[in-house]
Structure 1
Amino acid sequence: MTGYAYQWVSRLANPILGWITGWISFTFLAIVVVAVDYTVAATVVPALFDFTGTPLTSFEITAGVLLLQALLVGLSTKWTERVNNFAVTAELIGMVALVVLLFIVGVIAHKLSVGNLFSRGDIPAEGYWSFGTATSVGPWMLGFLLGAFTIVGFESAANLAEETKKPEVVVPRAMWQAVLASGVLGFLFLLVVTAAVNDPTTLAQSGTPIADVIRDILGSFVGTALLILVAIAIFACGLVILMSGVRLVWAMSRDQRFPGWQLLHKVSPRFRTPANATVFMAATSAVILGIFSTSTDALFKLFSAATLLPASIYAITTALYIATRKKLPASAGFSLGRWEVPVLVVAVVWLVFELSLFRDASFKDPWLYVLAMVAIGAVYLGYLLVTRGKEGSRCPRWHRSMLNWMKSPALPRNP
């Protein structure tokens, strides 16, 4: 069902914990779309048009991209899907071409250095491999968060389940295919780009390091063409994130459990989209952009918050699934089978490790953002409990029927 982790946790545990997870998910989606769009503004556009970006130009470009995405999502679901499908195709073609060309040209021109893959660059050797202290983490450990930021949001496909034929089959397939493609292509891309770095010290001072490496190896024309494909892919990524956030706001509003649900649950009769929820989601992200864009290290702070929050969401969902998996009916479309337990063990170990990295003092501002949003959510949840009571805070549309479904003795159970 539409509604991201909000729907899952509401069923795995209870509607109140589901609401909390839904609010955390909203907090995540509202900032991650800014982080993704800001990447275009801060790293790709300056390289394409040959200018030095500033916090102001990054803000203006990101705001423009966000507005365009909101118009697409709010005016036409069909056109949003078309743009996304085109962008996914362009992304796959572009990434494969980029990896292959960087490798071939780099080898021929003798510009690839395997030693770069094992180099610390200018980072001191002392403490490089260290797990860190109570308030710091070693550089090598922090590197894990790069992958953690990249491979998130794969479950967003479930947010369009109610608009998809055979979602029990299509959605799981889309999720594992997205993770596989991102993991393999992303790993190969990072491998060849790192090997292609000529001067790590100089590159570290650049505002567009990846673009600089691509142009150094492939030349200006090919590099520019591939950067355009990258920009299209990142735009589509932000588009899907915004759509996912809109669907979450709409789903919680449909259940009368989101601030302003009286307006946000409505679907535009003309465009057949949750237009009000789209405006609200885009406006919230614009406010977040305005707060973070004044900082010179805005991209780091945005990335950090957009990595911390999904890790928390995945941890909650995984823990609750482990606690209730024996009570759940068997899946009708996808199952890990005997691999389920090993996957759960690895997931728990990884999530505990990932969350432990955010004790580093450099993550102060992301934590402040999370705490501020949680405080706002706590006030509204308190309002729900006071005005409606514990029973009144339940989802009015489905709770009783879902409870009966979960308790039905005739349903097959997970092994």
Structure 2
Amino acid sequence: MLASRIPVTGYAYQWTSRLANPVLGWIIGWVSFSFLAIVVVAVDYTIAGTVLPVLLNYEGTTLNAALITGVVVLCQAALVSQSTRWTERVNNAAVSAELIGMVTLTALLFIVAAIRGQADGDNLFSKGALPDADFWSFGDWNTAGPWMLGFLLGSFTIVGFESAANLAEQTNDPERVVPRAMWQAVLASGVLGFLFLLAVTLAAGDPVALAQSGTPVADVIEKVLGSVVSTLLLIMVVLAIFACGMVIMLTGTRLTWAMARDERFPGWKVLNKVSPRTHTPFNATVFYTVLALAILAVFTSVSSNALFTLFSAASLLPAIIYASTVVLFIVKRKSLPASDKFNLGRWEIPVVVVAVVWLVFELSLFRDSSFKETWLYVLAMMVVGGIYLVALLATRGRAALAMPEMTSIDAEFDREANVS
């Protein structure tokens, strides 16, 4: 609903700044930036830490996973910084491969496991190696039960659909296209992801033994489908994850550029530039890449379980963003600009109610003590952002946060290119 009414690069930052106030909008923008900076690392670490060790048959370690992740980040940055058109082409090809691969993989797992008698319905109700005590418990003030924590899988996998809103200014008819792209992405990932997890669980074999593996999903695929088929499908998975990280990087650089364009991001005089050669925010891309590599280095050096911490932070931060956006929509829904291109109609209230219930439940799970390092990252990023915000207000006053008129990113690119 907000995407159809305020189709401007910067999504939640723009929505909150224009409908609530610029100070709150800046805070949400910084939270969004903090999320996008870490989620690209989390996604790319998946390639290096869980898929490639099985695909190339080597032992995965923290060091080689970090090095490979860094190389993947640099490759994505090269594409994003040099050509938006080629980034789009690579993404479209990878998404097509992902859809074909996931549908094929899911169908084959169901069929082959059933034919070979490898599908075990008891796995759907198994607790694995976890104790029966408190399995279903909601927990206490600093713990959450295993079944409850399982919901966080959806918090990470069904995320990032707002990236479409962050590219609104580079989309034809964004008021219609962007909101439809968002709900279609959620529906497709939700349905297909659920079926895939169902197939993997049925074919998992002994869940206790499988839990000892660092690459359990890949192991199930190889066991059921054999090495040749699993290799081909794992290659598709690598391409899909690469494209996912690339889009996240594209989104992060556009958000950085949008805040710098509004003169409210550290180093905005440098980061708001557009390359006259590539017509991309090259400086913002370089900055975002360097920060992502720094986050990778810190997390892999200080965290005993880097992948868990990265994924946790990449789940907590969007939950904060989504909760803020939903609350803002509830408060401002009757005063939003009119739109005749996208409307939920009678489904608006039910969708909002479900969203509120889910987000309250999701955020409550992060009280578990296992997320201590996750909260430390959030706290560190908020301190950095807070220092800059106070300095900005002290030196330039609240007038520095006044929102400029909504202009197209293409016009800005052309202006910058001509000036340069």
Q: Which residue of 1 aligns with 2:149?
A: 142
TM-score, scaled to structure 1: 0.95
Gaps of 5+ in 1: 400-415
For the residues of structure 1 that align with 2:166 and 2:353, how far apart are their CA atoms?
26
Superposition deviation, residue 160 in structure 1: 1.4
Is 1:98 the counterpart of 2:105? The answer is: yes
Superposition deviation, residue 302 in structure 1: 0.5
For the residues of structure 2 that align with 1:236 and 1:332, how far apart are their CA atoms?
33
Q: Which residue of 1 aligns with 2:291?
A: 284
Instruction: Find runs of 4+ consecutive structure 1 residues off by over 6 angstroms.
Output: none
Q: Which residue of 2 aligns with 1:52?
A: 59
For the residues of structure 1 that align with 2:12 and 2:40, how far apart are their CA atoms?
17
For the residues of structure 1 that align with 2:98 and 2:162, how far apart are their CA atoms?
19
SS class of match (1:258): coil
For the residues of structure 2 that align with 1:288 and 1:382, how far apart are their CA atoms?
24
- The 8 Å contact of residues 257 and 395 in structure 1, kept in 2 or not, is answered as no
Q: Which residue of 2 aligns with 1:69?
A: 76
SS class of match (1:326): helix
1:225-304 equivalences under 5 Å are 225-294=232-301, 295-304=303-312
Q: 1:365 aligns with which of 362, 365, 373?
A: 373
For the residues of structure 2 that align with 1:140 and 1:365, how far apart are their CA atoms?
22
Q: Which residue of 2 aligns with 1:404?
A: none
Superposition deviation, residue 163 in structure 1: 1.1
Deviation larger for 145-154 or 294-303: 294-303
Q: Which residue of 1 aligns with 2:412?
A: none
- The 8 Å contact of residues 4 and 25 in structure 1, kept in 2 or not, is answered as no
Gaps of 5+ in 2: 1-7, 408-420
For the residues of structure 1 that align with 2:394 and 2:118, how far apart are their CA atoms?
66
Q: Which residue of 2 aligns with 1:310?
A: 318
Superposition deviation, residue 328 in structure 1: 1.0
Q: Which residue of 2 aligns with 1:36?
A: 43
Q: Deviations over 1:79-117 (max 9, x none)?
A: 000000001100000000000001110000000001100
Is 1:119 the counterpart of 2:126? The answer is: yes
The total of aligned residue pairs comes to 399
1:70-85 equivalences under 5 Å are 70-85=77-92
Please tell me the residue identity of whatever aligns with 1:247.
R
Q: Which residue of 2 aligns with 1:405?
A: none
SS class of match (1:154): coil
For the residues of structure 1 that align with 2:194 and 2:179, how far apart are their CA atoms?
22
Please tell me the residue identity of whatever aligns with 1:275.
F
Q: 1:344 aligns with which of 330, 334, 352?
A: 352
- The 8 Å contact of residues 264 and 400 in structure 2, kept in 1 or not, is answered as no
For the residues of structure 2 that align with 1:4 and 1:276, how far apart are their CA atoms?
21
Please tell me the residue identity of whatever aligns with 1:362.
S
For the residues of structure 1 that align with 2:214 and 2:187, how far apart are their CA atoms?
29
Q: Which residue of 2 aligns with 1:387?
A: 395
Superposition deviation, residue 397 in structure 1: 4.3
SS class of match (1:135): coil
TM-score, scaled to structure 2: 0.94
Please tell me the residue identity of whatever aligns with 1:143.
G
Please tell me the residue identity of whatever aligns with 1:360.
D
Q: Percent of pairs identical after alignment?
A: 66
Q: Cα gap change, 1:170/1:398 in structure 2, threshold over 3 Å: closer, same or farther? A: closer
Q: Which residue of 2 aligns with 1:219?
A: 226
Please tell me the residue identity of whatever aligns with 1:123.
L
Q: Deviations over 1:323-382 (max 9, x none)?
A: 011111222321101111111111111100000000000000000000000000000000
Q: Which residue of 2 aligns with 1:201?
A: 208
For the residues of structure 2 that align with 1:72 and 1:131, how far apart are their CA atoms?
44
Please tell me the residue identity of whatever aligns with 1:331.
S
For the residues of structure 2 that align with 1:373 and 1:296, how far apart are their CA atoms?
20
RMSD of aligned residue pairs (Cα, Å): 1.0
For the residues of structure 2 that align with 1:221 and 1:209, how far apart are their CA atoms?
18
Please tell me the residue identity of whatever aligns with 2:312.
S
- The 8 Å contact of residues 55 and 296 in structure 1, kept in 2 or not, is answered as no
SS class of match (1:132): coil
Q: Which residue of 1 aligns with 2:415?
A: none
Please tell me the residue identity of whatever aligns with 1:358.
F
- The 8 Å contact of residues 256 and 395 in structure 1, kept in 2 or not, is answered as no
